[in-house]
Amino acid sequence: MNNELLRSMKKIAILLTLLLAGMMAACSEWTVPEALPIERPSIEAENPALYQQYLENLRNYKKSYHPLLIGWFDNSDKSFSGRASHLKALPDKVDIVALMYGDNLADVEREEMAAIRNDKGTKTVYTIDYEAFLLDINTRNEEIDALNEAGAIAAAEAGEDYTPIPLLVPDEELPGFMDNQLALLDKYGYDGFGFHYVGKSSAVMTPAQKAELQATQDILLTKLGAVMQRYPEKLFLFEGRPDRLLNKELLADFDYIVFRTQTATNTLALTETVKISLVTDVPANNIIVCASPYSTDTQDTKTGRMTDETGATLPAITAMAWWVTVSDSFTKAGLGVYRINDDYFNPETDYKLTREAIEIMNPSSKN
């Protein structure tokens, strides 16, 4: 082998080595995933005119008479990091969204409220929760009791007198609570509100207890009635036990009577729960019942399941949707899904059970 050939072979070896090194470096770079945007064409982008026609048909559908789908939406997540925390991700044919936390809305929520109203005809309401108000008063009074106990002990040890902090009186706090809650209607431009009241049965009350109950209800109904009269175009839901109102006259001004039946376990009991409350002067032509999705806790195997008349166990949303389609002595106006965004999480499609419920109640609809 002559020197010229040897030099040529060395050059080739060097070039092969450099080429191999370059390929290895490239392979190393290929192992690092690069975040590339995935463009998925939508009907809105491909055919804007057709999409606008779809939205117009959707808005007209929501103006028509049909069994409603109302979603109680947990809007406590203000990070908006996932689609489940966005109102705009709800199925198009959800008629009404009820925010579970009516105050302290983020700009994102307000923008999406306006968008789903204007584009899809979806109304957004919030709940004035009398039961949560009572729970808060009781919690604060427990804290005051603890402070008074500690203060009394400390004062006794110091040989001093102690003046206890007075406990909160619900009826004294109630007007301020109602005024603050009712003001949210204008503050955020809601389409209406729900009023949650369970109360107590007056069947075995003494005259004094009944008078006290009447005084509480007078505060509530007077405040509610004044605002409802001022905004007749708004949407109003009564949530709870309408039969426990001593004066049921205002019930006629509520658009729907909602029974919070999200813990019901069978459809037979569901019917009885409704009928028990449909006493004289309680409207029976606008009844909504509520179901829960499956729990996001995989260890929870009970939430969101219900037994139907045949004994079969079904998703509660599905069972109640079929229940709505069966005629009864009262008018079933639709279905509420409590904590609806828990139904977002499904390996097949987002909001799978909600979409199925809409199809069951409105078979000709396209979700």
**pLDDT tens digits, one per residue of 202-240:** 999 999 999 999 999 999 999 999 999 999 999 999 999
Q: What are residue 236's phi and psi, to 5 degrees?
A: -130, 130
**pLDDT tens digits, one per residue of 263-284:** 999 999 999 999 999 999 999 9
**pLDDT tens digits, one per residue of 184-198:** 999 999 999 999 999
Q: What are residue 240's phi and psi, to 5 degrees?
A: 135, -130
| Domains by residue range for the chain, with CATH | 48-361 (3.20.20.80)
| Mean pLDDT, rounded, of the chain | 90
Collapse the DSSP code of 158 into the 3-class scheme (helix H, G, I; strand E, B; otherwise coil) and give the result: coil
CB 217 within 8 A of CB 246: yes
pTM of the model: 0.85
Cα–Cα distance for residue pair 126/49, rounded to 1 Å: 34
